[in-house]
Each structure stands twice: as structure tokens, then as C-alpha cells.
Chain A
């Protein structure tokens, strides 16, 4: 019973609302149109040192020893039109024991990634830091790159002089993935 009354009330209110609507149209009105508005999709295009995939390897270093270090500067540019957030991720880290000379402790499973210290900097601000073995599980944000703008990333590596014989003959292979995501 109550619901029938409710329905009726809603219908009445609806009709009244319509009436108000009609009423509105009877006022003076003037319409101006801004035409030619265009919505087009932006672009987001990352270039690493001016290149797309496949990128060459940035590091191919042999005969490294405790106390060694080096660095590499890489230019990330957003050649698209939209701003994007840049990320770096060290991936697919594979250790290999290589040769095991007599002074190297055994068992030798390949310990270089645990002793290769990586520091990623953008304009002398540290964005990622740690042993390769530890930082491989995370993606690190490098900052926002506006469309048409570039950013220089510096990757520093070092092997602490205290490491000792444990890494002798070992090698490590890894990928460096750069990505740009819509901000």
C-alpha cells in the first residue's frame, strides 16, 4: 500500500520536474559554439641514447678485481608529447662461477652479483643503491620526463676492496630495463 503511494508521488514529482524543464526553454536564450575542438591522443616514446630496442649492452667488463670501479652515463629522452615517469630495473641477473682457481673458496656458486655495488644517479641525486643481488628485485623511479625532454642517468659500479678471493673468475650477466610510464 505504502509503496503504491510512493510510486504515485515519484510520478508526480517527475511530471513537475518535466514542467520546470519545459519552462526553462521558454526563457530567452542565445547559443555560441566554439567549433574545431580536437581531442587527439598524446604520445609517450622513450629513447635510450637515442635508440629503441634492441639496445646494446652498456657493460662488458672483464678482469674486474676488488677496488675496481667505473661509471656510465645514459641519456633517456621522451620523444613523445606527454610527460612520463622513468624507471630503471636491473633484471635477469645470472651469476656464474666461471673458473675456480686454487685461492678461491669453495663451493663456488658465483658471488659477483652479491659483491657488485651499483649506484644510480640523476643529477647527483641517488635514485637506487645497493648490491646488484639486492636491487634486482625492485624497479626504481628516476623522475618525470616531460615530452621532448631528456634526462641523464649515471650508473656507477664498484667492487669493495674488502671482497677478497671469493669472486675470483666469477661472472654476472644482467639486463637493464628502462621504462617510461604515463605520469
Chain B
């Protein structure tokens, strides 16, 4: 008991001394200044796409040589706070033969001096449709009644795309229609066409876009652009062998199907 009391008293004294030291520290001079309300706010980068094929894919069936689809139009808008780099990436998901009819099988057995399709011709596992499906809209294919309302702002022949400005709504039929139905005037439109063949052995048609990304330029905050698209199947299928065009028996694409995706991306400009 006696020892415990002594220990307690000692602790008490030490405590008081410690307090004393504490007070001592606070009694040193000091001066403090504060800069408050410093703020950093991060930007936003957000692309919205409005158009067909997002909830359910667009399906085209029973296409035949000479067919051209309607125009499809997707409205891409930058709803973020900073400009972004707009690009589109095309990917072929599948290129199916879906079995071979008798005329298709015999057409695929014909000899061709053509590097692209030749490897898959005669192989019932692979379809050839993607090599003959011409995607996009070449400036030469823009209808005459549209030209008076359209100004090409930028044209990239190497990659095969153009950006134009439409000043009035022009209804050329189809689900797209040229020009601004429900969007502001003037409107910026963009389209891509398949360039090629540009080298021996390279594919033509939609297949040449497989895995490719095309960068179209900068989309400013709240700016929108309409991406125009269609596919056509030429009346007379031809293939390029690196030296010239060769006629192909149109039956080689009978029953074939192709599934592909277009991915639009808006990327931060460093």
C-alpha cells in the first residue's frame, strides 16, 4: 500500500511536470497564415451516340449484287467539358459462308488470279461477303440534289473519309436522310469509304477496315456530328489482283453473311 501510494504520487508529479513542458512549448512564438478555398476540378469527357443499332443490331438480309442500303445516321455528341479526339473502329465479328449452294460451290471452284478472296474460296468455313461489300459513301456517290446544300470541309483520300457541312435538310429517303431532321443547322456530317485496293494482296471492301481505327479530328464540348453510313454490293463483283480488276462470278457470295461493329471513341487530347 505504502509503495503504491508513492508510485501514484510520483506519477502525479511526473504528470504535472509533463504538463509544464507542454505549456512551455505552446508559449514559444509562432505565427500562422492560411490560404483557403484552393480548388481543383476535373474535366469530363463523355460521348453520346444516338441512332439505330444500339439497342438491337441493324440486320440486312437477302442482299444481292446491285443492292444499296438506305443511309444510316448516327449523331455523335461530346457532352463533356473538354474537347476530345473522335475516332471510329471497325471490327468484323464474323464472315460466314452459311453453307454453300450448288452454284456458289461451283463459282468458288473457278480459278481467280485474286489474292484476297482466293484463300477462302472453296473453303466452306469462310464467307466472302465482307470483301465485296462496299461500305460508306464516296464523295462521288453523293446525290446531286444534296450537293447544293453540302460543303466538303475536309477530305482524306488516303484513309477514305470526308467531313462536310449540310446547310438544309434534304430528304433523300431512307431512315437517315441527308441533313438535319431534329438537329441544328448547319450540321456537320462525316462519312468513310473503302479506299483500295492500295497494295498487292490487300483486301478491298468492308474487310479492309477490319480492326482499323480512323481518327477524324477534334470534337469540341457540346459539338455534334452525324456519322453517315451505308453499304452497297456492286452489280458486277470484281476483284483486284494487284495489277488489274478481274470479274468474279457473283455467285461466290450467295447466302454469305457478315457481322460487324462500329465503335466510336472520344479520347482525351493530352
Contact = CB atoms under 8 A, between A and B. Distances in A.
Interface of A: 42-48, 51-67, 80, 82, 84, 91-92, 98-99, 101-104, 112, 116, 157, 159, 161, 165, 167-182
Interface of B: 28-46, 48, 79-82, 268, 270
B44 A57 contact: no
Nearest to A179: B32
Contacts of A157: 40
Given A82-B29, A177-B34, A99 B39 contact: no
Contacts of B33: 46-48, 51-53, 55, 177-179
Contacts, number: 142
A144 to B, nearest CB: 13
A62 B37 CA distance: 13
Given A44-B29, A44-B31, A60 B44 contact: no
Main secondary structure of the interface of B (DSSP, over half): strand
A178 B34 contact: yes
A23 to B, nearest CB: 40
A55 B30 contact: no
25 contacts: A42-B29, A46-B32, A54-B34, A54-B36, A55-B35, A57-B38, A58-B38, A61-B40, A63-B42, A64-B41, A65-B268, A84-B29, A98-B42, A101-B45, A101-B46, A102-B46, A112-B42, A168-B42, A168-B80, A169-B41, A176-B38, A177-B34, A177-B35, A178-B34, A180-B30
Given A65-B43, A65-B82, A173 B32 contact: no
A154 to B, nearest CB: 15
Nearest to A99: B44
Given A60-B38, A103-B45, 11 more contacts: A48-B33, A57-B39, A65-B43, A82-B29, A92-B36, A98-B42, A101-B44, A112-B41, A157-B40, A169-B43, A177-B35
Contacts of A67: 268, 270
Contacts of B81: 63, 169
A168 B82 CA distance: 11
Contacts of A57: 35-39
Nearest to B41: A171
A102 B43 CA distance: 13
Nearest to B36: A175
Most chain A Cβ neighbours within 10 Å, of B34, B40, B41, B80: B40
A102 B49 CA distance: 12
Contacts of A66: 268
Contacts of A159: 42
B30 A177 contact: no
